[in-house]
Amino acid sequence: MQRAGVFWKWCRPVWRESASVKGYDLGKKGCVMKKNRVTVPEVMAAKGKRKLTMLTAYDYPTALLVDQSNIDMILVGDSLAMVVLGHEDTLSVGMDAMIHHTLAVSRGAARSLVVGDMPFLSYHGSIEQAILNAGRFLKEGRAQAVKLEGGARVVPQVKAIVEAQIPVQGHIGLTPQSLAQFGGFKVQGKTADAARVLIDDAMALAEAGCFSIVLEGIPAPIAAMITEAVPIPTIGIGAGPHCDGQVLVIHDVLGLFERFVPKFVKQYVRLGDSIREALNRYREEVENGVFPGPEHAFSMNEEEAAKMEAPKRKKVRTAGGGR
């Protein structure tokens, strides 16, 4: 009991918001206690009441920063194939890599709802395959939900995964796993017929049990119609301002992915420039002998250092004398 009392003295729940980081106690004393995790029911209940926020993350330190920023959801997106692993598209990443990165993100995210992105061919083969792979995200990756791409064609998989007690986020519009079919990154739903298909897809996913739907690369008026038509939140990315929330790739937000910048992206900072400047300064200081300086080195007791010099001098005399 005494130890428990000491623990709660130092690790007290935070009832007020810190002035430095919202929702965190960053005082010198005590450990950090965070707000309760965002849940699927809370996300669903936000529709029509407040805007939801979502960002991608692929590792522990980034997830920690996103979590500390009170972002509602973190998507461990298959976009990691491009922005982290350097592939040309999202098709090259598999389940093992996705689970690896999801677990790292889950370690850093104590408040944000973590959503694992089911990669290409992880749910297309059979219902059983879809359930098992979705379950891996929760069991091995410690995520709270999964996301998969497609509309009416994936309704059987969505229903089965939801019936297995695994929350599912849908994704329609410009679905990157279908780039070969689309012929590239092209806006979807630009004709009346195509827009009707998207609306039907969204309604089918909602009826199948999705708790939210990502709308990507869709004209803003169509995204507004979908948002009004479905009872679950829509999360837009290149779908205009009328969605119930927004999601962006963290590398785009921070200016760390420079191969191309989509029209719908807003770069809030250009960290790539700052990082290059810092690395160039490091290289120059090492080459010129500026770093490390005295303040970066560890000292040694002079008497102990002298003891190391004596054997060295004796060894030199013995070798030089030769007799």
Distance, in Å, from the CA atom of 13 to the CA atom of 319, rounded to the nearest integer, reads: 69
pLDDT of residue 40: 98
Q: How far is CA 174 from CA 29, 46, 72, 181, in A?
A: 48, 25, 23, 11
Distance, in Å, from the CA atom of 169 to the CA atom of 43, rounded to the nearest integer, reads: 11
DSSP output for 283-321: HHHHHTT-SS-GGGS----HHHHHHHHHHHHHHHHHHHH
The pair of three-digit structure tokens given for residue 153, joined into one six-digit string: 């064609």
Q: What is the pLDDT of residues 114-161, one digit of tens each?
A: 999 999 999 999 999 999 999 999 999 999 999 999 999 999 999 999
Distance, in Å, from the CA atom of 55 to the CA atom of 42, rounded to the nearest integer, reads: 17
What's the pLDDT band for 323 if we cut at 50, 70, 90?
A: very low
**Nearest by Cα to 239 from 261, 260, 264, 262:** 264
The full set of domain ranges for the chain reads 1-33, 36-275, 286-321
pLDDT of residue 305: 87
Is the CATH code 3.20.20.60 the one for domain 36-275? yes
Cβ-contact 98, 79 below 8 angstroms: no
Cβ-contact 76, 150 below 8 angstroms: no
Active site residues: 216
Distance, in Å, from the CA atom of 151 to the CA atom of 237, rounded to the nearest integer, reads: 17
SS3 230: coil
CB atoms within 10 A of CB 103: 18
Distance, in Å, from the CA atom of 311 to the CA atom of 57, rounded to the nearest integer, reads: 55
Q: What is the pLDDT of residues 53-74, one digit of tens each?
A: 999 999 999 999 999 999 999 9
SS3 215: strand
Question: What pTM value is reported for the model?
Answer: 0.84
What's the pLDDT band for 86 if we cut at 50, 70, 90?
A: very high
DSSP H/E element including 41: helix 40-45
Of the chain, the percentage scoring pLDDT greater than 70 comes to 83
